A and B are shown apart, each in its own frame.
Chain A
Amino acid sequence: MDGDASRDSELPFMPAIEAVGLTKKFGALTAVDSVTFDVEEGEVFGFLGPNGAGKTTTIRMLCCLISKTGGQAKIAGYDVGEEQDALKIRKLIGLMPDNVGLYEALSAYDNLDFFGKLYDRTEGQRKENIQRLLAMLGLWEKKDVTVSTFSKGMKQKLGIACALIHDPQILFMDEPTANLDPESAKTVRDFILELKREKRTIFLNTHNLDEAQRICDKIAILNTKLMATGTPDELERSVSGKKTVVQLVQVTDAILAALRKLPLSNMTIDGNKLTFDVKDPDKENVAITEAIYKAGGQVRSVNIVGSTLEDAYLKLVRSDKT
């Protein structure tokens, strides 16, 4: 990481990214409303939300590109919004904007070399980093080719390389796999996982719930306000928990009466199949099967079905609209 050694040594003791009541208003419009979260060092933090939720605005505030209108935010201990800290923060972080933003008339090498110079990398460091990054992303053979001839996936990969040319420890990525074909998206995702293994802190804006679930250690769901924060598992459980599906030989009134005495919620009956919302399947499923047996029922199968991150996301976003 660039920056002084003392700052580096401080990093393990503070969140890499911290926001408290972070707010952005454009006139009467509130784009980001009092958002609070923190991202630990080495964590991949997913920022989920619909279009216009304020994800890009949040990234822009954290990258010191636009000012905040309220709250506090810190990057590696530096204050976002403090003029003297802005350059230090920008030196410390890498940004992959939602628009890939490359110089199409230049080669891949020249694009990377340009950004390397702006981050004060020596010629030797630039050469080494360019070769390493282009090789990792499978673009080394194309290093002298003009970017305008690149496919969308190649441009996206080069865009990520540009954000990493100065070896930043904190990386902001705004929809890095948007509009990519499945193969290119997988390459990008694998690369993010590689960065995760290198213990880099990654702040990932994405629409892709599957991607968030696979990559992120922690997820925040934003819809101008922060709707929820947690690990993917926590979010799934916090919204609707898990479901137990019991397939019986035959449903009888006695079985239903016995089950209704249990503290179960949301029981639905579909033929001989019963479904319950459960918070702790290990305990509650024992009670369910016992009640069924005591009522003279026969169980064919018991399955635990988890609600997905998509369920959680949709429920949170829709609840905010109502």
Chain B
Amino acid sequence: MRLSKSWVIATKDFKVFLKQKKILYSITVAPIIVSILIPTVISFAGQNKGGHGLAATELTVLLPAFAFFYLILAGYIPTTIASYSIVGEKVEKSLERLLATPTTDSEILLGKGISAFLPSMGAIFGGSVIFMVLMDLVTQPKLGYYYFPNWNTGLVFFLLVPLTVVMSVGWNVIVSSRVTDVRVAQQIGILLILPLAGIYVGGELNLIQLGDTNTLLIIAGILFAVDLLLLYAARATFRREEILTKWK
């Protein structure tokens, strides 16, 4: 497999994304909102009726789970990009011409994967930096130290988030092969965030210890296994003949 071919396909997709305002907005708006909204809510929480805000003990329970918001974003953002990247080619009927070039199915699939992976990671990392800086500013007076960054957050952002983005890309390749409309692809693709939201809610309800390194590694292991399965299925779906004769 030649990475250079995949990179050519990915950079072409980046150019297309830059021309599509809808894609740009969907990549950037959600991380920015989440990154500003959560610290804002925390800074005002518990202030009404003469309160003094959230206690330090409450913050140490809440903060680890907040990083999981970015796991939800990691499931959501590639949905938009991958659906445009693959269904968009179907709509523009450009896949046949692309498939006729001297590139392998794997190279094209990897190119599509890169074009969904890198902007998603960039948006999530950008948002996470804003989130951590604002959250530290808000919580440092209560905690007496800067909570972010820490090892567990590092695990979330550098291991769980990439694994989730890969999972979302794989899932969306499969979904995109079965639909002809970008919006339908997004609606079905977004179902992936349900289990991720479940993990977040479990953390907030203290059912899952999201501040525990072992728990994070178990989640990473599960995500890795799901990734392998989805990538295998995506590769099986993304075959020249399948695309030209069976994709809707």
Contacts and interface: CB of A to CB of B under 8 A. Distances in A.
Interface of A: 26, 60, 63, 65-67, 87-88, 90-91, 93, 95, 97, 99-106, 110, 114-115, 117-120, 146, 159, 162-163
Given A65-B244, A114-B12, A118-B5, A103 B94 contact: yes
A158 to B, nearest CB: 11
B97 interface: yes
A155 B12 CA distance: 19
A105 B97 CA distance: 16
Interface string B98-113: 1111111000000000
B19 A106 contact: yes
Contacts of B98: 101, 118
Nearest to B19: A105
B98 to A, nearest CB: 8
Contact of B93 (A88, A100, A114): A100
- B interface, by DSSP: helix, strand, loop or mixed? helix
B16 A66 contact: no
A162 B100 CA distance: 11
B8 A118 contact: yes
Contacts of A93: 100
Contacts of A162: 97
Contacts of B104: 87
Interface string B3-29: 001001100100110011000000000
Contacts of B92: 101-104
Contact of B97 (A26, A91, A95, A117): A95
Instruction: Bin the interface of chain B by size.
Output: 20 to 34
Nearest to A91: B102
B96 A101 contact: yes
A66 B5 CA distance: 21
A51 B114 CA distance: 39
Given A95-B100, A101-B94, A119-B101, 10 more contacts: A65-B99, A65-B241, A66-B240, A90-B101, A95-B97, A101-B92, A105-B16, A105-B19, A106-B12, A115-B97
A51 to B, nearest CB: 17
Contacts of A101: 92-98
Given A114-B12, A146-B19, A63 B100 contact: yes
B224 to A, nearest CB: 30
Contacts of B94: 101-103
Given A106-B15, A106-B16, A97 B96 contact: yes
Given A114-B12, A118-B5, A105 B102 contact: no
A95 B94 CA distance: 12
B240 A119 contact: no
B96 A118 contact: no
B245 interface: yes
Contacts of B103: 118
The 6 closest A-B pairs by CB, nearest first: A99-B93, A101-B97, A95-B100, A91-B102, A105-B19, A101-B94
A321 B58 CA distance: 81
B102 A99 contact: no
A117 B8 contact: yes
Nearest to A99: B93
A97 B100 contact: yes
A65 B19 contact: no
A175 to B, nearest CB: 13
Contacts of A99: 93, 96
A67 B241 contact: yes
Contact of B102 (A66, A90, A97, A159): A90
Given A60-B244, A102-B94, A117-B8, A65 B16 contact: no
Contacts of A95: 96-97, 100
Nearest to A57: B245
A117 B4 CA distance: 9
6 contacts: A65-B241, A65-B244, A95-B100, A102-B97, A105-B20, A118-B103
